[in-house]
Amino acid sequence: MSLSDKICVVGLTGQSGAGKSSVSRIFQKNGFPIIDADEISRSVAQTNEFLREVRELFPDCVDELGLDRKKLAAIVFNSPDKLKSYTDIIYPYITKNVLTTLTGFADDGANIVVLDAPTLFESGLNDICSVIVSVVAPMDIKIRRILERDGIPVEAVTSRLSAQKSEEYFTLKSDYVICNDADLGSLEAKTAEVISKIRERHNG
């Protein structure tokens, strides 16, 4: 029996600033186990094997403290080729960790698990998902949220967003789309509706 036969994986994705993390927390409050790909990425970035590979391509981005994320972001988000070089290194590590974690949930009897992954499609993790949910928001709202959250220049925000898939891409590739353009109460109501539909389809 394959992993997809044992467990329903809900892929949760969307552009930076759209509010994916807020939707993930709502899923968690409703009893769904969450796999956070960003958390896995941060864990991977501390391993010696990964750091050795990154140092070979981006020597200025690894020092005695580990990976310098700001330096790396300034390089990769301004060059599609360099971004691909970096993701070619990290995605296999993330995928391996995700599959191991999913297997553990399946063995424990979980029926539905949410995979919170901003690069769901780029990494190929969408291939293991039974359902895909994307969170979208108007561009001005996304930019404001990132500025407030990360405290980086607006030029860095627009570079980051332009390096990601378009909102149209997410919409076309998803089973459900949640537009996060209002307050938290509205977001909770929209997410609850999606959760209800997923549970109906997958007996969760």
Neighbouring residues of 13: CB distance < 8 A, sequence distance ≥ 6: 20, 116, 117, 118, 119, 120, 121, 132, 133, 134, 135, 170, 174
What residue ranges define each of the domains in the chain, with the CATH number in brackets? 3-197 (3.40.50.300)
pLDDT at 163: 81
For residue 71, pLDDT beyond 70? yes
What whole-number percentage of the chain has pLDDT above 90?
80
For residue 204, pLDDT beyond 80? no
Q: What is the mean pLDDT of residues 47-57?
A: 95
pLDDT at 68: 93
Stretch (H or E) spanning 178:
strand 176-179
CA 185/CA 62 separation, integer angstroms: 42
Q: Is 174 annotated as a binding residue?
A: no
Give 140-195 pLDDT, tens digit per residue: 999 999 999 988 889 889 888 888 889 899 999 999 999 999 999 999 999 999 99
- The model's pTM is 0.90
φ/ψ of residue 108, rounded to 5: -85, 0
pLDDT at 77: 84
Residue type, 72: L
Q: Is 17 annotated as a binding residue?
A: yes
If one compares 152 and 34, the residue with the highest pLDDT of the two is 34
CA 30/CA 64 separation, integer angstroms: 41
Tokens of 134: 């994307």
CA 132/CA 146 separation, integer angstroms: 23
From residue 115, how far is each of 40, 94, 111, 141 by CA, in Å?
Answer: 11, 12, 13, 24
Q: Is 22 annotated as a binding residue?
A: yes
- Grade residue 32 by pLDDT with cuts at 50, 70 and 90: very high
For residue 1, pLDDT beyond 70? no
If one compares 204 and 173, the residue with the highest pLDDT of the two is 173
Q: Is the dihedral of CA 166, 152, 38, 65 positive or negative?
A: positive
Q: Is 4 annotated as a binding residue?
A: no
pLDDT at 78: 84
Q: What is the mean pLDDT of residues 101-111?
A: 94
At 17, is the secondary structure helix, strand, or coil?
A: coil
